[in-house]
A and B are shown apart, each in its own frame.
Chain A
Amino acid sequence: MLAVPGVYRTCTWSLRRAGFPSSFLRRSSTAKHVSALPPKLLERARILSAEHDQLSAKLADDFDAKTAERAGEIFRVAAAFKQYEKAKAALSELESLLKSNDAEMRELAQEDLNDTNTQLSDSSRELSVALTPKHPFADMPCLIEVVPGPGGTEGRFFADTVFKMYQAYCENKGFRSRVVKYESSDSIGAKGSEGEIALQEAVLEVLDEGSYAHFRGEAGMHRVQRVPATETKGRTHTSAVAVWVLPSFPENSTSSSASEWDNPESDFYIDPTDVKSEKMRASGAGGQHVNKTESAIRLTHIPTGITVSMQDSRSQHTNRESAWKVLRSRIAQKRREEREEVARNLRSSVLAQSQLTRGDKIRTYNYGQDRCTDHRAGVDFHNLPDVLRGGPTLGKVMEAVHTYLAESDIQALIADEAAAAIASTKAKNGK
């Protein structure tokens, strides 16, 4: 499932290298209509729909699990395409009626026109969603990494808040989660205005399948505006926290996922000889002579320079396993992003060039105004305490982001088709 064929040039939101034109961002958050579908997409839908009809006919005669699976995969496209065709046909009929000489006829047609237009835009939207390839990591569990942005302790305190927010959200939603790493910075004693600790870095694993798709929109810079505990003049400070969402392997790594590790084609494959493992403790006597408690481990992936250190557990073994888990996830995400970069470069000839960079904020939590704003989805929500408790309001924010992500995936898909069309024309002209 993970070895991604090249045709899946899906666009995903990931802040590390995201690049959507801001004009599009604004439009997409309010857009209700997807403008006319490019011919290429319609052609693909038509082919898949025909295939579905064929498979259904075959299944009626004699059931076969493989055929059924394929039919299930393309069912949504086929159904949406039929709706689309129906609306299209209705529309052309209405249009001819509008030209009618009979005034009453024209009036009736006019009345139906609005409904039919809505049907058409709904079905084209559904069709493009159905055509959008699923993100290759979508079904996986995920790791949520929380790291304070540069600057003072206020960012660290807020990092703790963000971490607890996701932890509570998982609990409220009934997701199974596990703290992989929760490391505070040196000044453990100090507490933030809400009693937080100064977080250095934390990793939460959400074990449910599909968590990656659920949380991937949370990746990016989260900004806080509030009055810190240490602020005597009552001034509001702004700090930032980075959130990364990485794909992770299911808990009881079944033989299939274990073989993904050994498969050099897989995004999760790491050549063990590329990794340097260090124990972070003073050397000296070992064995029965001492009963050491130091258990910290640091792994360095030499080709990429990615390092992971882990010292949460009293067991060196557990620390090493956790470090490998995080390392695999980071590397898989990086490889994925590199491929997406290629796809985006192709697309950029079609979409405008205003880039959103790694440092751009995706969300603001403003305590004074009791407000949570998602800048991509262009939505404001009040009841900040409920957001930070991981309550239903955070769920609404995330829903808005899901809608936004779906829209941008569609736009990217359309842009991909357009870019491919341009490229093929160029190739033809070049001949």
Chain B
Amino acid sequence: MPRLPPSIFWRARREISPVASLLLPVCRTLQSTANELRWIRDHVHRTPSVIPAGIRIWQLCEERSRGVPLQYLLKTQPFGPLEILCRKGVLIPRQETESYTFHLSSILSSSSSSSSSSSPLTILDLCTGTGCIPLLLLCCSQKSSSHFSCTGIDISARAISLAKQNLSHNLALIPSASSSIQFIRGDIFSTKFTSEIYAQHLPDAAEIDVLTANPPYISPSDFRSQTARSVRHYEPRLALVPDSVPSEVSKKYGCREEDVFYARILEIAGDLKPKRVVLEVAGWEQAVRVVEMAQAQRDTRGTDYKVIEIWRDDVHGVRDAGESTEIWGQRIRVKGEGDGRVVYLSRLLD
């Protein structure tokens, strides 16, 4: 990253506040610095403490200047109308995730209003982390009449405990959550995964309507060179890089290291046969690879996704430009603006 000119430090100090020059190197612009300082101040004034406010503000700015993510310092991140609790050891929800979760929710609500079935919509979120995806889907469904039944799975005990806290933290906004959402610890690579899920947590022969996942998708070399310092140093590697998977397991899939979770999740999808699958990816190239993996299942497993789409970073509330591309002779609709962010698969012609 280019070095900031000294004059901008001087302006931050003079025009914003002496502590602003601490934030500037991580925030990069004066505007962003002013915003972060305001949020830090608001946080300090909202959370009473015996330590004087001035000292707490200075301490938080000092930690931020070392690259600690703002969301860990303020302990929350807004996600739609929800306030998601953030703790070290669990990935912070991203804005792109928020955008496509809203988009998915609008797809679900328009399709559920056209179908007359009264059985609840079953949602399975793999690699759930804070639980932000199912919690937001459930929150959006509160206004509509449709019932949801959500299950979030994560390998990390910290993530599962935080997801449960997030459930109770946001109960006022999603009163139905206590009965319609569960968070369970589990390793999706475990050979017994699908049978256990069915045996223990899903109603008999339940059909899964939506399978969502934002799995670790960064290769070890990209992790070293392409991630922001505050991500690399402060967020859990387990959530970002798929190298926790034993090599004998990943070898079985014969794909790139960073794609191994998609291979496994598509395999699970082949067993559970969800109507829709929503997978977050690192960018356009990975999106294309995941689309190809899904298409390959048609021959190997007979899984036919009638609709395949790629969604870009900003997809919710962004006008549809009518973009499309072709992969292996199949027309793929491309929605939104920015880099490729989601591969959307559907067995329904919606």
Residues of A near any B CB (own CB < 8 A): 184, 186-189, 272-273, 277, 279-283, 285-296, 311, 313-318, 320
Contact of B36 among A273, A283, A286, A293 (CB under 8 A): A293
A contact face: mostly helix, strand, loop, or mixed: loop
* A290 & B227 in contact (Cβ 8 Å cutoff): yes
Interface residues of B in 271-300 (CB under 8 A from A): 280-283
- On whether the beta carbons of A292 and B15 are closer than 8 Å, the reply is no
Flag the segment in B174-182, B183-191, B228-236, B326-334 that touches A. B228-236
Q: Is the CB of B313 within 8 A of A286?
A: yes
Tell me if B31 counts as interface (CB < 8 A to partner A): yes
3 residue pairs, one from A and one from B, having the closest CB atoms:
A315-B78, A290-B228, A186-B15
Which B residues touch A289, using CB under 8 A?
218, 222, 226-228, 231, 282
Q: A286-B94, A316-B98 are in contact. List 4 more A-B contacts (CB 8 A).
A: A282-B28, A289-B226, A291-B228, A315-B80
| Docked-complex contact B231 and A288, CB < 8 angstroms | yes
Kindly list chain A residues whose C-beta atoms are within 8 Å of the C-beta of B78: 313-315, 317-318
B22 CB to nearest chain A CB (Å): 15
Total number of residue pairs linking A and B with CB closer than 8 Å:
111
Docked complex Cα distance between A317 and B313 (Å): 13
Stretch from B47-55, B69-77, B159-167 contacting the other chain: B69-77
Complex alpha-carbon distance, A122 and B281, angstroms: 74
Q: Can you show 26 pairs from A to B with CB atoms below 8 A apart?
A: A186-B30, A188-B37, A189-B14, A189-B16, A282-B28, A285-B227, A285-B339, A286-B94, A286-B338, A286-B341, A287-B281, A287-B282, A287-B313, A287-B341, A288-B91, A289-B222, A289-B282, A290-B228, A293-B35, A293-B36, A293-B70, A295-B35, A313-B78, A315-B78, A317-B80, A317-B99
Point out which of A282, A285, A288, A289 has the most chain B C-beta atoms below 10 A from its C-beta: A288
Q: From residue B113, how far is it (CB to closest CB) to chain A in Å? A: 13
Is A188 a contact partner of B94 (Cβ separation < 8 A)? Answer: no
In the bound complex, how far is the Cα of B81 from the Cα of A187, in angstroms?
Answer: 31
Q: B99: shortest Cβ distance to chain A, in Å?
A: 8
A94 to chain B minimum Cβ distance, whole angstroms, is 65
| Chain A residues near B15 (CB-CB < 8 A) | 186-189
Q: Which residues of B contact A316 (CB under 8 A)?
A: 95, 98-99
CA distance A24 to B160 in the complex (A): 71
**Distance of A345 Cα from B215 Cα, bound (Å):** 64
Contacts of A320 in B (CB 8 A): 317
In the complex, per-residue mask of B297-334: 1 if CB is within 8 Å of any chain A CB, else 0: 00000000000000001100111000000000000000
Is B79 a contact of A315 with CB atoms below 8 Å?
A: yes
- Residues of A close to B92: CB separation below 8 A: 291
Q: Decide if B59 is an interface residue (CB 8 Å cutoff).
A: no
| B contact face: mostly helix, strand, loop, or mixed | mixed
Interface centre among B32, B99, B216 (most CB of A within 10 A): B32
Q: Are B32 and A293 in contact (CB under 8 A)?
A: yes
Q: How far apart sit A308 and B24, CA to CA, in the bound complex (Å)?
A: 26
Q: Indicate if the CB atoms of A285 and B226 lie closer than 8 Å.
A: yes
- Per the bound structure, the CA–CA distance linking A171 and B214 in Å amounts to 44
Q: Is B39 an interface residue (CB 8 A)?
A: yes
Whether the Cβ atoms of B16 and A292 lie closer than 8 Å is no
In the complex the two chains form, what is the Cα distance from A352 to B27 in whole Å? 58
Contacts of A290 in B (CB 8 A): 227-228, 231
B148 interfacial by beta-carbon distance below 8 Å:
no
Which residues from B are CB-within-8-Å of A282? 28-29
Chain B residues contacting A188 (CB-CB under 8 Å) are 15-17, 34, 37
Among A188, A291, A296, A313, residue most surrounded by chain B Cβ atoms (within 10 Å)? A291
- In the complex, are the beta carbons of B17 and A189 less than 8 A apart? yes
- B231 near A287 with CB under 8 A, answer no
A281 to B227, CA, bound (A): 17
Distance of A320 Cα from B98 Cα, bound (Å): 13
Write the nearest CB–CB distance from B264 to chain A, whole angstroms: 18
Tell me if A317 and B91 are in contact (CB < 8 A). Answer: no
Distance (Å) between the CB of B44 and the closest chain A CB? 15
Alpha-carbon distance A281/B216, docked complex (angstroms): 25
Chain A contacts of B214 at CB under 8 A?
Answer: 288
Q: Are B283 and A287 within 8 A (Cβ)? A: yes
| Residue among B231, B282, B313 making CB contact with A291, cutoff 8 Å | B231
Q: Which residue from chain A places its CB closest to the CB of B34 in the assembled complex?
A: A188
B210 contacts A by Cβ under 8 Å: no
Contact yes or no, B31 A296, CB < 8 A: yes
B85 CB → nearest A CB, Å: 14
Residue of A273, A279, A286 contacting most chain B CB atoms (<10 Å): A286
CA distance A293 to B98 in the complex (A): 13
Question: In the complex, what residues of A have CB within 8 A of residue B317's CB?
Answer: 277, 320
**Considering residues B95, B228, B314, which has the most beta carbons from chain A within 10 angstroms of its beta carbon?**
B95
- A291 and B71 in contact, given A186-B16, A188-B15, A286-B339 (Cβ under 8 angstroms): yes
A280 to B94, CA, bound (A): 17
B36 adjacent to A288 (CB under 8 Å): no
A407 to B92, CA, bound (A): 58
Give the Cβ gap from B52 to chain A, nearest Cβ, in Å.
19
Residues from chain A with Cβ under 8 Å of B29 in the complex: 282
Neighbouring A residues of B319 by C-beta, 8 Å: 272-273
* Bound: A316/B218 CA distance, A: 25
**Bound Cα distance A294, B318 (Å):** 18
Counting CB contacts under 8 A, is B260 at the interface? Answer: no
* Bound: A294/B231 CA distance, A: 15
B208 within 8 A of A: no
Q: Is the CB of B282 within 8 A of A317?
A: no
Residue contact B218 to A288, C-beta cutoff 8 Å? yes
Q: How far is the CB of B61 from chain A (nearest CB, A)?
A: 13
> CA–CA, A320 to B81, complex, Å?
12
Convert B83-98 into 0s and 1s, putting 1 for each residue whose CB lies closer than 8 angstroms to a CB of A: 0000000011011101
**Chain B contacts of A279 at CB under 8 A?**
314
- The minimal Cβ–Cβ distance linking A349 to chain B, given in whole angstroms, is 45
A97 CB to closest chain B CB (Å) equals: 70
